[in-house]
Structure 1
Amino acid sequence: MHYSMNLKAEPPINYFREWTNSCVDDQLIHLNVIPLEGQRPYEFLFYSDAIPRRNDGRVTSQILKRYQHVEEGGWWCSGIDLLTGEEDLWGCFKPSQPRHSYDQKKLIKYEHPPKTPTSLFALKIPLHLWHQIASRYQIEILPEDIDNNQPDFGFWQWFIAHPQIPLCITEGAKKTGALLTGGYVAIALPGIFGGYRVIRDEYGNRIGKSHLIPQLEKLANNHREIYIAFDQDTKPKTIKNVNAAIRQTGYLLTRKGCNVKVISWNPELGKGVDDLIANHGQSVFDEGYKNALPLELWKAKSFSKLTYPVNLRVNSRYLSEQHILGSISSNNLQKLDNFDLAYSTNFPAKLVGIKSAKGTGKTKLLEKIVSEAVARNQKVLVIGHRVQLVQELCQRFGLKYITEVDKKSDNKLLGIGLCIDSLHPNSQASFNPETWSDGVVIIDEIEQVIWHGLNSNTCRQNRVEILRSFKTLMQNVLGGVGQVFIADADLSDISIDYLQALAGVKLEPFIIQNDWLPGEKEAWQVFNYPETTPKRLIADLHKHIREGGKPMVCLSAQKITSKWGTRALEAYLKKQFPDLKILRIDSESLAEPNHPAYGCIKSLNQVLPKYDIVLASPSI
């Protein structure tokens, strides 16, 4: 049985200060937190009938020994059982002397009642915070709403009856206390995965669908808006777990009709929401709350994030080998784990990722890497997803594209370029991944290359062989003594995770990130047309050309049967503007020797300014 708390007694300053340092209201602390020491923590933790006991009802010595550290004291926090409206038996105890986990790798900071399902923290609210919350959402508290016989004065029942009030979900009791203090209704889970259950059999095998815990399901009523505010961590593994928990919890809440949003902030401002508020004030959280992303948009953005630690961060309009290599040298960056190369290079890792905005010189940096590899007689393989792009890279790198290779001299070549479509033994390249274990592999625009290999129609017939060769290549290079360099303006965890999964080895990638972004002068003005037909776009294009504009129009189709493809639009614009020079760049024009577009990819900067209008398909 729990002991009632004397609200007039001042708790020990150590834990009271801990809660106030998290910006939690004094009265809220008094209502929900109690100091415990000696035998008393056992009374709060050991109430489950499933706990092993002796014949006399005493908990077994093994269990007592495991929890002996709680006798040194600590604090206990519990709130309201939302299913009954009574004080919750379940809660958490933070011992002043925590124990280690079974593997001794980490301290267990919080103890929850063993052998009983976890719940959530729905803390008891002092009346002044209730009024603050009601005022925020302009809802009147009626006299009959307040029930002095209830441990929470009836607050949570009032909240359930008003689905127009949003709910914040966080992790940890202190964090929900900080949010409640700020005037937000909030509950806390004991862990990021604590909002739902997965049905498993006695062997731990999943045998049913996930479902919300009953307490959270009771709050997810009548299309309530719910904000998830979990910690902003910096460890890649933790970030993946947090994102997985948000996706699953958010999905289940959405199934209940809730409108789910996700609050994010810069981890440098504070890991938890209480740290954020304590370090930078309530207004910073208010701004994050206002800018919370809808779940689907957050999911899309989370897939494109790069959470691996950045080894070298720069902020430069153009990357240069002097800048990068000089920084590596001056910072004395150490070789990363599992690092053993066939050749000495300037980059201290087998897998090197370069993230930098478009047009900032990533290819220029790769030129230096290729030239150094060739100079030391190391084989270089360039992989891309578009023929024209790989041909241009090969031209800049001084390598041959696969169609230029004479099979008789194939073995003498130190480097070639090809599309991922040709990465199989039956292609023109007769690709053999076994010959590249000590080579350098360059994959520019890695995000699109992977997507192309997995999804494009041009890879469909040979996809199994392509992916098998790609896997063997990564195993031989990353698992061997070669190096892989990947570059993309949108480099994300997906690409790095995928390559490591293919290789079957866990590596520490060396990440170079350029934080430079274009300002107003360099940025492009973007116009969005939400209509399902391009009629308004064509009208604006027509007006733009008449006013002297020289547009380059990128289209998704080329065939004459396509109503708005390159050929159809070319015919339309020639009729409208017979005196203007129009260049059509698509697979047909690029392959026609007598067409002005033939061979233009190698010299676009020189060719395009000669024309008034340029129409381009994805072939460019």
Structure 2
Amino acid sequence: MSAATIEYPNNLTAAEYHEMTVGSAIHPALVERNFFHIEGETIYDYLFISNKIPRKNAGRATDKYIKMYQHLLLGGTWIQSLDPFKNWQPMEWGRIKPNFPRIDWQKGKPVKYESPPKTPNRVTYFDVATPIWDKVAKRYLIKRYHSLLALRLLDQLNPLIFWEWIKQHPEIPIILCEGEKKASCLLSLGFVAIALPGIWNGRVGKQDLDERLHPDLVPMAQAGRKFIILFDYETSSKTRWSVFQATVRTAKAIESAGCECEVALLPGPEKGVDDFVVARGEDANTILTAIIDDAKSLADYQRSYRAKKWGLSKYKPDVTINIKYLSEALCIPELEEKCLRVPELYDLEKEQLFTPSIKGHPPNKESTDSGGVDSSKSKKSPTFNFPKSGLVVLWSDMGTGKTELMRWWRDQNPNARFLNNGHRVNLLKNLALRLRTAMYSDLGYTGLAQAQALSITIDSLHKLNTQSLTY
């Protein structure tokens, strides 16, 4: 069948459909229920829903508003949301992703999404199809019954609405992220996600006065419910500070509503979670699951942000590097060729390091040619060796290769006793596979006593407090 004869759902163009299903890894069932192509003057019916918009006698919006949104006449994608206060019927409020966005001249950036003007922002609950529902149930080990009798009985008690089912299961965490494509990408993997139109839209009110959880999120705020905030990966210090403030204030509003809140952090370099999933391909589900399982508490998130911004106040590092992957700076014999490509990180004549040790030659400052070029530029960069005793603190951001470094150490010391300690069972299971250790939950007392390499949670460390176990 030729591309010209393919019909996409909801009048979506080929480019719009491809952007969502391929560019953002959104399941086609979600696209079919929630994304619609609109163009022409119809767009005004979707946008101008507020009574506060000035209008002419005939009821048409004034020319100012018509001109402001005339770029939408060329078409865009309408993203629909369900209303938690109207029995999960489609909201009147929604957002348009224009095919040809206008430029915000104050910010100097295109406006990627348009919301109805003069209307309070709401959050987006997607209409979730059965295949996605089943993925969520499978991820959180909740049995769903699909027999005709079971479906009839459930229909009599409660209509089969995904979000009502989520309300009945407060043990399922809900992820809050900025943007509809990101939330629908997470749903496509079996996570429960709600889209915020902006990082500040998970809460309403003024700080220290009446700040509280956004009303649209209150129906999901059952006692014991955990919310996980997952915003974009940012490189600008100014943007990171804004994200930090919005995250903390949203988290406090969630906790004030009687729920738990954690913060998950993307390692980068991809900005949004949908870009992250597309870039990781088949490994995306496993990696993202580990990232979400390793989400930080609000207190840990605040501490980590301050530490990253201002550094450790008490202990100064022996070596500080600024490089993408640790393996490029912490040179090891198996990575000899990679080490040759590493730029000089510090002047060895000025460094006096005790732990860890540095091997290498001091730079030769004598010129070997008439051009006065430093011959040390062509010399091998110094190598960085782990000490054989003592305590080594390795502080590095997510995605910089800490686990790969530990796996190399395990390969070099296969007979050494190795204890991998963590705080999340699911994360430890993933690390146990990568570091090739036994998982404590799979072993009995005898197995714990015999294990040479073990992954165990902090809460279970007391099981190792026996005479037969020494680490």
> In which range does the TM-score fall when normalised by the shorter chain?
0.5 to 0.7
Residues 234 and 146 (structure 1 numbering): CA distance in 2 closer, same or farther, change over 3 Å?
farther
Residues 157 and 55 (structure 1 numbering): CA distance in 2 closer, same or farther, change over 3 Å?
same
2:54 alignment counterpart: 52
Shift of 1:139: 2.2
Return the letter of the residue paired with 2:242: N
1:115 alignment counterpart: 118
Contact 2:101 2:110 in 1 (8 A): yes
Matched, 1:193 2:200: yes
Describe the SS at the equivalent of 1:267.
coil
2:40 alignment counterpart: 38
1:282 alignment counterpart: 285
**Unmatched 5+ residue regions in structure 1?**
1-5, 200-205, 328-355, 362-514, 527-620
Q: What is the RMSD computed on CA atoms of the aligned residues?
A: 3.5
Shift of 1:129: 1.1
2:73 alignment counterpart: 71
Percent of aligned pairs sharing the same letter? 30
Contact 1:357 1:516 in 2 (8 A): no
Aligned-partner Cα distance in 1 for 2:300–2:390: 23
Aligned-partner Cα distance in 2 for 1:7–1:99: 26
Residues 261 and 520 (structure 1 numbering): CA distance in 2 closer, same or farther, change over 3 Å?
farther
2:151 alignment counterpart: 143
User: Deviations 1:245-303 (Å, cap 9, x if unpaired)?
Assistant: 111111111122222111113112x2111111111122211111121112211211111
1:182 alignment counterpart: 189
Residues 258 and 358 (structure 1 numbering): CA distance in 2 closer, same or farther, change over 3 Å?
farther
1:255 alignment counterpart: 256
The structure whose Rg is larger is 1
Shift of 1:126: 0.6
Residues 106 and 523 (structure 1 numbering): CA distance in 2 closer, same or farther, change over 3 Å?
farther
Residues 33 and 161 (structure 1 numbering): CA distance in 2 closer, same or farther, change over 3 Å?
same
Shift of 1:358: 8.8
Shift of 1:143: 2.3
1:502 alignment counterpart: none
Aligned-partner Cα distance in 1 for 2:247–2:153: 33
Matched, 1:25 2:32: no
Shift of 1:208: 2.8
Describe the SS at the equivalent of 2:83.
coil
TM-score, structure 1 normalization = 0.48
Contact 1:357 1:517 in 2 (8 A): no
Match of 2:164 among 157, 161, 168: 157
Return the letter of the residue paired with 1:264: L
Aligned-partner Cα distance in 1 for 2:205–2:111: 23
Describe the SS at the equivalent of 1:215.
helix
Aligned-partner Cα distance in 1 for 2:212–2:55: 32
Residues 173 and 222 (structure 1 numbering): CA distance in 2 closer, same or farther, change over 3 Å?
same
Contact 1:46 1:113 in 2 (8 A): yes
- Matched residue pairs, number? 328
TM-score, structure 2 normalization = 0.63
- Where do 1:446-595 residues align within 5 Å? 519=386, 521=388, 523-524=390-391
Shift of 1:22: 0.8
Matched, 1:95 2:98: yes
Matched, 1:292 2:159: no
Contact 1:146 1:153 in 2 (8 A): yes
Shift of 1:94: 0.9
Shift of 1:166: 1.0
Return the letter of the residue paired with 1:282: N
Residues 302 and 87 (structure 1 numbering): CA distance in 2 closer, same or farther, change over 3 Å?
same
Matched, 1:301 2:336: no
Describe the SS at the equivalent of 1:253.
helix
Return the letter of the residue paired with 1:241: S
Aligned-partner Cα distance in 2 for 1:109–1:46: 18
1:612 alignment counterpart: none
Describe the SS at the equivalent of 2:67.
helix
Residues 307 and 238 (structure 1 numbering): CA distance in 2 closer, same or farther, change over 3 Å?
farther
Aligned-partner Cα distance in 1 for 2:235–2:225: 31
